[in-house]
A = this chain, B = another copy of it.
């Protein structure tokens, strides 16, 4: 993962509404949520929300698909995994830093960096 990509992803998450939005999409899972539902959940005007959705999309953290009149947004787990991988490997001075919790993982395939 290039550091410019990392900066963009971090920047996308470094905003109250967008962090909440991303968490919401993570909770929603693969089904995702329509823009309108998100706007209501977050209490943000549609045009403002659209701006934030664009930021996250641009950073590659979420994806968009259309379902009828609605645009459904979903979290991109792979992008998040890559981001976490970068942070762990480059910003943690080795293995010392990683929280111990999720070591019952079942995926070794998403890995990116060396």
Interface residues of A (CB under 8 A from B): 3-4, 6-8, 10-11, 13-16, 19-20, 22-23, 26-27, 29, 75, 77, 80-81, 83-85, 87-108, 110-111
Contacts and interface: CB of A to CB of B under 8 A. Distances in A.
Contacts of A84: 84, 87-88, 92, 97-99
Given A7-B14, A95-B106, 12 more contacts: A3-B19, A3-B20, A7-B13, A23-B90, A23-B91, A75-B93, A77-B96, A80-B91, A81-B97, A88-B99, A88-B101, A97-B102
Identical chains in the assembly: 2
Contacts of A75: 91, 93
A23 B102 CA distance: 24
A60 to B, nearest CB: 14
B92 A26 contact: yes
Contact of A16 (B4, B91, B96, B110): B4
A14 B10 contact: yes
A82 B16 CA distance: 18
B23 A16 contact: no
